[in-house]
Structure 1
């Protein structure tokens, strides 16, 4: 399975006084890329929620390597770093589309909850969803 990077055009309203993308926007971009990733693997978030699966963020880490400016186009590549059916860690690389320069790296960690916000095991309760995540791990 080939997962395409998420393409993002840096918007003017996302810049700060120095005319670079404000650091808080990278976390939003991670979420946009994550939702795009889930869509590509057939687990769009609406479908997951309608099946009673919620994927809250437990932690975020972001390391800024180089500035991104207004109107630059970046590609955000996602990789599942770890997955055990209860928790998942995702890695992100943001690269300039034209130069392939690495701009930012990051990670988010997540767990899986039911609609009552109780932790669940996808292996036990949603084996078909677990199978998809397991297959993606094999492609990483």
Structure 2
């Protein structure tokens, strides 16, 4: 299982008046992590979009644990939580420089035709992506064990 890491310094514009990161900015950081993971796998969203396929978000879950603050360096850990040939669920953990988990999140995506928004099989349309996702996704027994606890 591949886990991508990307470091970001919390900017003033990402915080509220108390110097605490505004909640929606964690989603931006998840996107940074997801893009980094895809790049590490050897792909780019832009190439997918050029072929007429988009990957919209269909679900997001964020569990806020500890506030990230202005000036801190945070690390975004990203991995493929689940993948079935059509849907991809990415997992994220954002940790501050003291090692405290700031949030845990998942985002679910499905590939669709850009004109019709009908689902597209990643397995058929992008066999290289499919192979990389199958090879690098979280082992199913790990996902099953997490669901039971």
TM normalised by structure 1 equals 0.90
The equivalent residue for 1:106 is 105
Structure 1 residue runs of 4+, over 2 Å off? Answer: 1-4
- Residue 11 of structure 1 aligns with which residue? 11
Q: How do residues 69-108 of structure 1 correspond to structure 2 at under 5 angstroms? A: 69-96=69-96, 98-108=97-107
Residues 66, 138 of structure 1: CA spacing in aligned structure 2 closer, same or farther, 3 A cutoff? closer
How many residues are aligned here?
139
Greater shift, 106-115 or 44-53, is seen at 44-53
Matches within 5 A, 1:13-92: 13-92=13-92
Cα deviation, residue 134, structure 1: 0.9
**Unpaired runs of 5+ in structure 2?**
143-149
Contact 1:3 1:40 in 2 (8 A): no
Q: List runs of 5+ in structure 1 lacking aligned partners.
A: none
Q: Answer whether contact 2:15 2:22 (CA < 8 A) is retained.
A: yes
Q: Return the alpha-carbon distance in structure 2 between the equivalents of residues 132 and 5 of structure 1.
A: 18
Task: Give the superposition deviation at 1:66.
Answer: 0.5
d(CA) in 2 for partners of 1:130, 1:52: 17
Q: Identify the residue that residue 147 of structure 2 maps to in structure 1.
A: none
Distance 1:4-1:79 versus aligned 2 partners, 3 A rule? closer
Deviation of the 1:11 alpha carbon = 0.3
1:88, distance to aligned residue in structure 2 (A): 1.0
Q: What does the per-residue CA deviation read over 1:78-100, in whole Å, with 9 as the maximum and x for residues that have no partner?
A: 1211101111111100011x322
What's 2:119 paired with? 119
Q: Is the 8 A contact 2:82 2:138 kept in 1?
A: no
Deviation at 1:47, TM superposition (A): 1.5
